[in-house]
Amino acid sequence: MQLTSPRLRAALLAAASLTLVAAVLPPPQALGIGDRLFPELGNPGYDVLSYDLSFAYKDNRTPLDAVTVINARTLQALDRINLDFSHGTVASAEVNGVPAQFESAGEDLVLTPARPVGEGAPLRITVRHTSDPRGSGDGGWVPTEDGLAMANQADAAHRVFPCNDHPADKALFTFRVTAPAGLTVVANGVPGALPALRTGSTTSWTYRTLHPMATELAQVSIGRSAVVHGTGPHGLPLRDVVPAADRQRLDPWLKKTAGHIAWMEERVGRYPFENYGVLIARATTGFELETQTLSLFEHSLFSDGSYPQWYVEAVMVHELAHQWFGDSVSPRTWSDLWLNEGHATWYEALYADGLGKYSLERRMREAYQRSDQWRAAGGPPAAPKASPPGEKIGLFRPVVYDGSALILYALRQEIGAAAFDRIERRWVTEHKDSVAGTEDFVRLASQEAGRDLTAFLNPWLYGKTTPAMPGHPEWGGPKKA
């Protein structure tokens, strides 16, 4: 058969190509970047450069109206763009200024742009959506007595905003939050160029990060807060956010931070970000969290009087240490979580040791005695078991805290304190504002030790049982080969 006219031929070809597009694209599905512990977290094919998040807050029962603008670059040609997003209603989506189709698949929001986007191309995604603060307990927005805070670790940022929700893809953030007048909004980073702007009954606040940040470390505090300013080492701006009514009472704790930073800087070098402070929230989280530049603490840690001062300070140092270990240097995969928690626990324990309250050696000996049990329950430090379904923070087991600080102790025992200190300093310098994993750590440790430490470290990192502790035969454990 022969087509009778160019016009008919063109019409047929156009119809065929439409059919082709419809036929080729499979149903949208949730994708991930291959994290062993969170297979559907993150998304392939693009690198986010910046997030611009706008939220309008009314109260804790009303979903916030939100606009998320993502600037990214494609790493491959994309017919579809997956974002992680699970806890809001999407009104519209645009890709490079053109409306895009959107559908949900699992915890992914799948965009189909009008035209495929080529490899290495700029990608500007705009999603108008709500962000639902209700349904607490799984992370994301955390209700406080006077507003909201955020706790996104490990995989809950996408309950708040559409994103590439994996720490391997860090980006710059801008936050624009409108809240009823009388409430104070603070987010990671520094205030925007314009001061908070009051319009009628609401005030608009802007913040931006000066360093790239993982989605899990985003923080937005909305509440009846006092913002307390101070100065840390080398003129570092300090900024704490506390319930306004408790400011006086909390002040002695806030005054500790400058000394904590100086103490950390003596050990690992300059604080890596633009500012620091604690966010003390009247909330029940069951944890503190190292949200970048503004660590989140439960009010009860400071107020209920049941914790000794040295313990509270050591916990403050733990979150502060994360600013270097976990925030500035982010884990490449969630199996590298031990690098975050092992180091934060190490400096927490070292600080307590320095206060003369709980010696590092005793803490490590006690950890050693439990380590096999922890490994049986949670897996080896650098290959932990996935968290059970429904337990969002089930990954945060003793094996990645004291069970992993034990690896650092073993390493220091093996190579000496001087080489160990050099590793710590180089780690946070060479991977500043970046991402690193277990293999990077083993490589760096080997360089500083002047010999390949793979055979020494691998059983500590991946063994089902705990190796012998160098220098402490009296601790028991297996005989050294």
Which residues bind to Zn ion, rule: CB under 5 A? 341, 344
Is the separation of the CB atoms in 347 and 353 below 8 Å? no
Starting at the edge strand found earlier in the chain, the sheet holding 220-223 runs 140-144, 147-151, 220-223, 184-187
SS3 281: strand
Question: Cβ of residue 290: shortest distance to Zn ion, in angstroms?
Answer: 6
Here the tokens at position 277 are 């402070």
Q: What angle do CA 177, 188, 152 make, to 5 degrees?
A: 90
Question: Cβ of residue 398: shortest distance to Zn ion, in angstroms?
Answer: 12
Q: Where are the alpha helices (DSSP H) in 325-467?
A: 337-354, 360-378, 402-415, 417-430, 438-449, 454-462
Residue closer to Zn ion by CB (options 341, 424) is 341
In 3D space, the residue among 287, 328, 337, 326 whose CA is nearest the CA of residue 35 turns out to be 337
Residue closer to Zn ion by CB (options 70, 344) is 344
Q: Where are the alpha helices (DSSP H) in 198-336?
A: 247-254, 257-268, 299-303, 309-324
Residue closer to Zn ion by CB (options 78, 329) is 329
Question: Cβ of residue 339: shortest distance to Zn ion, in angstroms?
Answer: 11
Here the tokens at position 303 are 């107020």
Residue closer to Zn ion by CB (options 314, 442) is 314
Residue closer to Zn ion by CB (options 173, 338) is 338
Residue closer to Zn ion by CB (options 242, 393) is 393
- Give the C-alpha separation, 50 to 101, whole Å: 22
> For residue 27, how many C-alpha atoms fall within 13 Å in the half-sphere facing its CB?
4
Question: Cβ of residue 317: shortest distance to Zn ion, in angstroms?
Answer: 11
Question: Cβ of residue 153: shortest distance to Zn ion, in angstroms?
Answer: 9
- Give the C-alpha separation, 303 to 61, whole Å: 27
Chain residue at closest Cβ approach to Zn ion:
344
As beta bridge partners, residue 83 has 109
Question: Cβ of residue 295: shortest distance to Zn ion, in angstroms?
Answer: 10
Residue 444 parent element (H or E): helix 438-449
Residue closer to Zn ion by CB (options 70, 367) is 367
Question: Cβ of residue 141: shortest distance to Zn ion, in angstroms?
Answer: 21
- Give the C-alpha separation, 320 to 186, whole Å: 18
Here the tokens at position 29 are 């599905």
In 3D space, the residue among 218, 203, 222 whose CA is nearest the CA of residue 282 turns out to be 222
Cβ atoms within 10 A of the Cβ of 424, count? 21
Residue closer to Zn ion by CB (options 222, 405) is 405
Question: Cβ of residue 341: shortest distance to Zn ion, in angstroms?
Answer: 5
